[in-house]
Amino acid sequence: MPVAGGENLDLRIKSAEGVPAVVTGADPGENTAMRILSWNVNGLRACVRKGFHDFLDSSKADIIGLQEVRAFEHQLEPRTRAPEGWHAAFSPAERPGYSGVAIYSRQQPTRIETALGEPRFDAEGRLIIAHFGRMAVASVYFPKGSGRDRDNSRVPYKLDFYASVFDRIQVLRRRGPVYVIGDYNTAHEAIDLARPKTNTKASGFLPEERAEITRWLDAGWVDTFRARHPDAPDHYTWWRQWGGCRERNVGWRIDYVLASPGANKRVTDAFIWPDVMGSDHCPVGVDLE
């Protein structure tokens, strides 16, 4: 089954049988000036072994934000640290093999930010913001609310992190268009996960987590995919790695491209690429005029 909007993606990135070919994402045409993608790679070194560089070369993206890199920059091979034709910037966690975000861009950013100014957040390597003149792209790996004992003990930390990022991007949007891309670790509405009734007490679909997404949208931020496909069901970005969840498309839509109002005006298409393998998440993105 072809990858939605990525007919030229290398076939070594294998397709999952049974996952619907989702929503647009056509190859960039004359009216497309830029493509921005986001992907939680669930360990960049592992994703490289599964075809990441083929994806990088054939995605026709101008900016790619990664989450859950789980490596220090020096642990990456040279072609991953600095691929030909790309500028790469990384923000790792202090803890080895944990979290970490990155941004690859065809154009060199004018400035890079990697800190919110709170040590408890910055130590986990969850934010990187690339500035391109007035435009900013933030790649963010929002925390899970579940703790080590599979309880919801990290929900307060998660909500505090949401609030801190929100305060930062509210400032950024005064200066120009902003895209906040990444793994939000929250399904906003029942349409955004396959089993909403059995997950009402699970982190990722708790009322207080969903309310935080609503707060962002009420403040003017736009969920670019849902705004363009308001009633489209069964479109997910993450699947558990057991029980054939991906093959049966029992998943969650927890990866988003949120845009400030001015940034959203430039979006011509918002899409999900469920057939791109290499992680338990799939890429999401937008095309801009």
With contact defined as beta carbons under 8 Å apart, do 9 and 237 qualify?
no
Q: Which residues have C-beta within 8 Å of that of residue 97, sequence separation ≥ 6?
A: 70, 71
Joined together, the tokens standing for residue 180 give 């906040």
CA max distance for the chain: 51
* CB burial of residue 60 (10 Å; 0-12, 13-18, 19+): middle
Identified catalytic residue from 62, 183, 269, 275:
183
| Rounded distance between C-alpha atoms, residue 174 and residue 140, angstroms | 20
With contact defined as beta carbons under 8 Å apart, do 22 and 237 qualify?
no
Per the annotation, the verdict on 183 as an active-site residue is: yes
Q: Is 252 left (phi over 0), alpha (psi -120 to 50) or beta?
A: beta
Closest CA to 129 of 75, 160, 173: 173
| Rounded distance between C-alpha atoms, residue 275 and residue 286, angstroms | 17
> Which residues form the catalytic set?
183
